[in-house]
Amino acid sequence: MSAQASALAAETVPSVLREAAVASPKVLGAATLAVARAGTRLVAAGERGAVLLSDDGGTSWRQAKVPVQVSLTALRFVDARTGWAAGHLGTILKTEDGGETWVLQLDGVRAAALWSGALKLGDERAQRLGQRLAGEGPDKPFFDLEFLDAQRGIAVGAYNLAFSTADGGRSWVPLSTRLPNPKSLHLYAVRALQGHLFIAGEQGLLLRSDDGGASFAALPSPYKGSYFGLLVARSGTLLAYGLRGNAFRSTDLGASWQKAETGLPVSISAATELDGGALALLAQTGELLASRDDGRSFARSGPGAAVPAAGLVVAADGHVVVASLRGTRRVAAP
């Protein structure tokens, strides 16, 4: 990119990408959109760049240093110190100290600039995507992240937004043109299983890569509504869940799917595997469900919290911590 183009790009960077998250005790009760484990530590993230750390299983929290003020929607750690966060305006952050401090690796302005390189390759689809990204500005959010190891990762988001890295995030490469998603549907989830990569999204979209993300193929989908998440169980079962309580399981890497009975009329926000091997689902109402038959059926564990919930993780002591629009809450595992 030329010096003139670089200067123009700098001028168009929104202030929330240039200013650090504000330290405030109010973030403890603010909207929290994701929560993850980093060793024994819990890390939660949410609105205005807030990242919270807990070293006592979610009983108490403190705020980390974050260089942006955008809402963060996803967290992924590969070990106790190394992790990534992603969110609005094409933001990807990295930490190498367990979430204490974060560095901005990618944003929507840089993403559009990266697409400009594709304009030289003669790929008409890449040209259209690059021109659209540059014209619309850094407005598209990432919804999920997956890392195969400390070097290789993928981030996916709205309108077929997808980037990959092979060097721990020092550089990111546009991935969207490799995806069979001609309608540019939203991509809500990405997970790895047995060397394969899976992406789930709007209108029943299910994709799989068998070559580390070099190419993807569409999978047969048992449902035409949106999938909001994917859960990979230790048994090898893959669970896709989403709109109106729908969940489907596959034991053959997505070649076929069976409906999981949830009994839920509301959407499912998150899922995790408990220490004992049971699978847990989190409804948007905050209600928890558990399966002890490898995801074939789920039973409710109690009433919800009447607060929209977004994330779920198991603490080191076996308790469950829920991320919601009113902060985090710690509950007994179902």
Copy the structure tokens of residue 161. 């937004």
Q: How many CB atoms lie within 10 A of CB 68?
A: 25
17: left (phi over 0), alpha (psi -120 to 50) or beta: alpha
Identify residue 163 by its one-letter amino acid code: F
For the whole model, what pTM was predicted? 0.92
Residue pair 309/283 in contact by the 8 Å Cβ criterion: yes
Return the pLDDT at 88.
96
Distance CA(301)–CA(334), nearest Å, equals: 5
Residue 86 to residue 82: CA distance in whole angstroms:
14
Specify the residue for token string 């990569």: 197
Q: What's the start-to-end Cα distance of the chain, in Å?
A: 53
Tens digits of residue pLDDT in 126-160: 666 666 666 665 678 999 999 999 999 999 999 99
| Residue 3 confidence (pLDDT) above 80 | no
The whole-number average pLDDT for the span 183-209 is 97
Rounded-to-integer distance, Cα 177 and Cα 129, Å: 8
CB 72 within 8 A of CB 93: yes
Task: Tell me 112's DSSP state.
Answer: H
Res 9 pLDDT > 50 = no
pLDDT, tens only, 281-294: 999 999 999 999 99
Across residues 289-305, what is the average pLDDT?
88
CB atoms < 10 A from the CB of 272, how many?
21
Domain map (residue ranges) of the chain: 1-142, 179-334
Q: Report the CATH superfamily, name and number, of domain 179-334.
A: Kelch-type beta propeller (2.120.10.80)
